[in-house]
Amino acid sequence: MKERGSFNSRFTAIMAMAGSAIGLGNIWRFPYMVGQNGGAAFILVYLFSAVFLCIPIFLAESIIGKRTHLSTFGAMEKLAPGTRWKWMGFLTVFTPLIILSYYSVVGGWSIEYFLKSLSLSFSDPAVSMDEHSAVFGGFISSTWAPIVFHTLFLLVNAVVIIFGVRGGIERFTKLTTPVLFVLIVLIMLYSVNLPGAAAGIDYLIHPDFSKLTGSALLSAMGQAFFSLSLGVGCILTYASYLKRDENLLATGIFTATFDLLFAIIAGFAIMPAVFAAGIEPGAGPGLIFETLPFIFSTMGVDAPWLCNIVAILFFLTILFAALTSSISMLEVGVAYLVDQRKMSRTRATALLFACCWALGVLCSLSFGPLRDFHVFGMSIFDACDHLTSDFLMTFGSLLFVFFVGWKMKKADVRGEFTNDGSLRFNARVFNVVYFFIRYVAPAAIIVIFVSNLLM
Ligand code: TRP
């Protein structure tokens, strides 16, 4: 068999997985969801679901990946030969490609904003909040510019992926993931020291449970899934590049911890600045592209150079975070084509690039010329987002936990989780973990799935 890629060490494997997990979800989605759903109370639910729900799903995916050293379709076929499971695995090849299509549109916006910050466009204190919103609205609804940046963003992904697991993904993420942490901590230090930041800090640490409605609960759980890249085979595929003797519990806990930590630091980087500038915290998806430029410009009165530096660092963080995540989405499809269809990496990447580019163009146009074209009553962009986050990802997660909990032999699951008994701690906690994978996670996912259907 042709040599499949693999990660060189535990450190690089965790950097790749954490890089996949840390993305626009942490910097763009998490802060505005916290803002809309009651601050600290939302964070608590999020934490709870990350630990009790997401880690078991993460383990289920990585058990399948590491056991078979194959991507989703092949893994299912190998573990359940002659059954229909492989077609379920096949389904999960498409989900990350749909996500990638709209994700790279937002990735493209972040390139545009990074370039804007380089040209020092955010330091004019005379520009009002409404003007910043108008600039953003004008940009995303235009026809060509967002498509150009979307293309550029996808191209960078393709280049990294063509270089392979070690030469591309590993080399890229082992540099960028640690840099992301340094950047976001710097921005947080700036933000919490702004005059008036205290109200924002307060908002993040004092829970307001009255805002925790049913839909807020669902959003918190959905956000936890999205943030850990679960249910679409990203973790499964990355786990298939782990060494045989890797400790899955350790990689899972490290990845989830880094992801959580990053989301919370990002919250502390953004909310204090939002409050300091006297803006509504629940600004929604426009938060980082409309509100933050305004914040940068108001803060720029006293120290314009400092505000320019922070703006550049901030949009660079977003761009890197988006890239380390999007490559993991592309890799799922590429791994399938390479493993199963025996295609070369370059051809596989080119083919999927073309598909995601085309769907992405439609998503991008759905803010402008195609704005009145609706699918299920939503714009194309929103339809892709809802279809994947509310249904396909939850369905995929259910599939993975169900497969590991009910279809695989318990002895095999134990063997993979404990490396045939050699990991003592894992052996001791196995029964608890197995209970969560077999009963708790599927039950919780079904509740989420059905509630999403009824909403
Ligand atoms: N987790 C990433 C983020 O927070 C996005 C991401 C990467 C993702 N791979 C995924 C989301 C798979 C859903 C499914 O931005």
CB of 57 within 6 A of ligand 1: the answer is no
Reported as a pLDDT band with limits 50, 70 and 90, residue 2 is low
Å from CA of 446 to ligand 1 middle: 21
Å from CA of 137 to ligand 1 middle: 25
pLDDT digits (tens, 9 = 90+) for 119-173: 988 888 888 888 999 999 999 999 999 999 999 999 999 999 999 999 999 999 9
The CA distance from 408 to 267, in Å, is 39
The ligand 1 atom nearest the CA atom of 326: 7
CB of 24 within 6 A of ligand 1: the answer is yes
Res 258: pLDDT? 97
Å from CA of 100 to ligand 1 middle: 9
Res 287: pLDDT? 80
Mean pLDDT of 216-227: 91
The CA distance from 86 to 446, in Å, is 21
The CA distance from 21 to 238, in Å, is 12
The CA distance from 287 to 106, in Å, is 13
pLDDT digits (tens, 9 = 90+) for 282-307: 777 778 898 888 888 887 677 788 88
Å from CA of 27 to ligand 1 middle: 12
CB of 157 within 6 A of ligand 1: the answer is no
Best residue for ligand 1 mutational test, from 176, 329, 391 (most atoms within 8 Å of Cβ): 329
The ligand 1 atom nearest the CA atom of 325: 7
| Secondary structure tally for the chain: helices H, strands E | 23, 0
Res 3: pLDDT? 59
CB of 324 within 6 A of ligand 1: the answer is no
Mean pLDDT of 235-264: 96
Å from CA of 218 to ligand 1 middle: 17
CB of 229 within 6 A of ligand 1: the answer is yes
Res 127: pLDDT? 87
CB of 26 within 6 A of ligand 1: the answer is yes
Å from CA of 153 to ligand 1 middle: 16
Look up tokens 């782990």; give the residue: 242
Tokens of 223: 């956000």
Å from CA of 364 to ligand 1 middle: 19
The CA distance from 260 to 384, in Å, is 25
Å from CA of 144 to ligand 1 middle: 26
CB of 310 within 6 A of ligand 1: the answer is no
CB of 288 within 6 A of ligand 1: the answer is no
Distance of CA 348 to the CA centre of its chain: 23
The CA distance from 276 to 281, in Å, is 11
CB of 329 within 6 A of ligand 1: the answer is yes
Tell me if 72 sits within 8 A of 236, measured CB to CB.
Answer: yes
Kindly report the protein residue whose alpha carbon is nearest to atom 14 of ligand 1.
229
Lowest mean pLDDT among 271-275, 283-287, 290-294, 366-370: 283-287
Best residue for ligand 1 mutational test, from 234, 318, 327, 392 (most atoms within 8 Å of Cβ): 234
Å from CA of 198 to ligand 1 middle: 31
CB of 23 within 6 A of ligand 1: the answer is yes
Å from CA of 124 to ligand 1 middle: 34
Instruction: Determine phi and psi for 252, rounding to 5 degrees.
Output: -65, -45
Distance of CA 315 to the CA centre of its chain: 17
Mean pLDDT of 398-415: 97
Tell me if 21 sits within 8 A of 14, measured CB to CB.
Answer: no
**pLDDT over 70 percentage in the chain:** 99
CB of 232 within 6 A of ligand 1: the answer is yes
Look at residues 345, 309, 297 and name the one whose alpha carbon lies nearest to residue 2.
345
pLDDT digits (tens, 9 = 90+) for 11-57: 999 999 999 999 999 998 898 888 888 889 999 999 999 999 999 99
Mean pLDDT of 326-338: 97
Res 1: pLDDT? 43
**pLDDT over 90 percentage in the chain:** 78
Tokens of 83: 């059954």
Distance of CA 452 to the CA centre of its chain: 20
The CA distance from 332 to 208, in Å, is 39
Res 331: pLDDT? 98
Mean pLDDT of 225-235: 95
What pTM did the predictor assign?
A: 0.95
Å from CA of 25 to ligand 1 middle: 7
Handedness of CA 130, 208, 50, 405 (dihedral sign): negative
